[in-house]
Structure 1
Amino acid sequence: METTDGLKLNITTESSFEDDDIKNTIVQYGNNFSKLEKYLKDSTQSIENLVDNKYYPIGHIMWNKVPASGSYIGWVVTREGIQAQKWLPNKNYSIGNLVKPPVDNGGLYECVVDGKSSTTPPTFMTSLQQEFPEVSGKIWRKEFNYEVGDLVFPTNGSKTYYYLCETAGYSSPTEPEWSSVQNDTAFIDNSVVWRKAKNIIWKKVGTNSEFRPFGKIE
């Protein structure tokens, strides 16, 4: 038997007919139907709906379940890798969760220390197995004018938790007792209102899959 280039189906041709075993040919054709069934039924309404943590090879096709004028027949994988959702702000992530950056750099990132994402994405490092924090804010300053969205850490250098400014104002002359505040709790620092959040640690673990649309329907 010979093998096709695309789906790697085993087929009998004129040149291989005399040498093919009948029983083996029937079995191989059954395997071909199984491959075709899997190939044809892989479809979705949107790439965003794909199951996370699944590997997709280059050339894999995902058919559009709801084709319509102006949309596409489907999507094809142009970069092999693991499917993951885009990083989202203000979201709790657990150890083992996978994300890809909102501005795709091809990387796949795993949460290795649980916590809550910030209002803006971190700088996603590009070296494999490199770990980095969600937030790399500044050290708290006394009697400083803070704006909504500012992020700070205690002056003792700890970066396990970060503090998000929810109400603008001037900080106190004395530093707050950060350790006495519960996680995900708002508290007052003079006229500033902070919210405590646990800092996520991310690690680049591989490559995320990239799907590109094909076959635009006019």
Structure 2
Amino acid sequence: MEKSNGGLELDIVTNNTFDNDDIKETIVGYGKNFSTIEKYLTEAIEKPEDLPTGQVIEGGKIIWNKNPVIGGYVGWVNIREGLNAPSWKPKVNYTVGQEIKAKPDNGNIYRCVTAGKSMVHSPTFLVGEGVEFYDANGNKWFPNYNYQVNDVIFAVNGSKLYYYICETAGITGTSEPIWSSVLPSSTVVDGSVVWRKEATVKWKQVGISSEFRPFGKVE
């Protein structure tokens, strides 16, 4: 018997193997094929994000929707072979080693190399093998400036190890706060603004991401 060329790699009888194939082995092989096909057809989840992360998923893999509804879809098909990981999310504490896919999707997987908390808005995901960058969207602090809730700033010296997110809108003071005296995840008052200090995540591109798209709309 030979292996089929598809992703399931089923055991099949061909003209090249027919004369040498043992009947018992053929029957057992086809029994295994049915088990493989049954598992393939019955594998169902609520959403692609429920798949295990960190594994390579072949292109063309189909996952069935565990709870299809009218207006929804019967399943998803992977259109790009690559690593599976959840999409980037805002205000999440990421630890070293966690992997995400860019949002919006750019076809790549990124691994956290410096722990921290993601920002409100998605960063610019750089592209290049092994490239590293901060999860950073913000400007340097300005004096006497009107800031709104969720605005993000960095220290005037340009350091991006930490960022400061506005929790209470207002106008900053005339002098920059002494950021080094502020503990991570704690707040500091700056004029009428209240900032919260958070560690900035650093990402590293580590590979290509899978990409599932829905199919079979339920009318």
TM-score (norm 1): 0.88
Q: Write the distance in 2 (CA, Å) between the matches of 1:173 and 1:17.
A: 86
- Cα displacement (A) at 1:203: 0.9
Note the 1:62-73 alignment, pairs <5 A.
Answer: 62-73=63-74
- Cα displacement (A) at 1:133: 0.5
- Cα displacement (A) at 1:34: 4.1
- Cα displacement (A) at 1:24: 3.6
Note the 1:54-65 alignment, pairs <5 A.
Answer: 54-65=55-66
The corresponding residue for 2:184 is 183
Q: Write the distance in 2 (CA, Å) between the matches of 1:131 and 1:97.
A: 14
The corresponding residue for 1:173 is 174
Q: Which moved more, 1:32-41 or 1:205-214?
A: 32-41
Provide the alpha-carbon RMSD of the alignment. Answer: 2.2
Q: Write the distance in 1 (CA, Å) between the matches of 2:57 and 2:104.
A: 20
Number of aligned residues: 218
The corresponding residue for 1:121 is 122
Q: Which moved more, 1:117-126 or 1:20-29?
A: 20-29
The corresponding residue for 1:99 is 100
Rate the CA distance shift 1:47–1:16 in 2: closer, same or farther, 3 A: same
Give the secondary structure class of the aligned counterpart of 1:18. helix
**Structure 2: stretches of 5+ with no match in the other structure:** none
The corresponding residue for 2:46 is 45
Structure 2 residue 212 is the aligned partner of structure 1 residue 198: no
Rate the CA distance shift 1:136–1:70 in 2: closer, same or farther, 3 A: closer
Give the secondary structure class of the aligned counterpart of 1:120. coil
Rate the CA distance shift 1:127–1:14 in 2: closer, same or farther, 3 A: closer
The corresponding residue for 1:90 is 91
- Cα displacement (A) at 1:57: 0.3
- Cα displacement (A) at 1:92: 0.7
Q: Write the distance in 1 (CA, Å) between the matches of 2:217 and 2:129.
A: 36
**Structure 1: stretches of 5+ with no match in the other structure:** none
Q: Which moved more, 1:179-188 or 1:162-171?
A: 162-171
Q: Write the distance in 1 (CA, Å) between the matches of 2:37 and 2:84.
A: 22
Q: In percent, how many aligned pairs have the same letter?
A: 49
Q: Write the distance in 1 (CA, Å) between the matches of 2:20 and 2:182.
A: 78
Q: Write the distance in 2 (CA, Å) between the matches of 1:189 and 1:201.
A: 27
- Cα displacement (A) at 1:104: 1.1
Specify the code of the residue in structure 1 equivalent to 2:180.
S
Q: Write the distance in 2 (CA, Å) between the matches of 1:200 and 1:103.
A: 18
8 Å contact from structure 2 (residues 169, 194) kept in 1: yes
- Cα displacement (A) at 1:105: 1.2
Give the secondary structure class of the aligned counterpart of 2:125. coil
Flag as ranges the 4+ runs of structure 1 deviating above 6 A.
none
Rate the CA distance shift 1:155–1:14 in 2: closer, same or farther, 3 A: closer
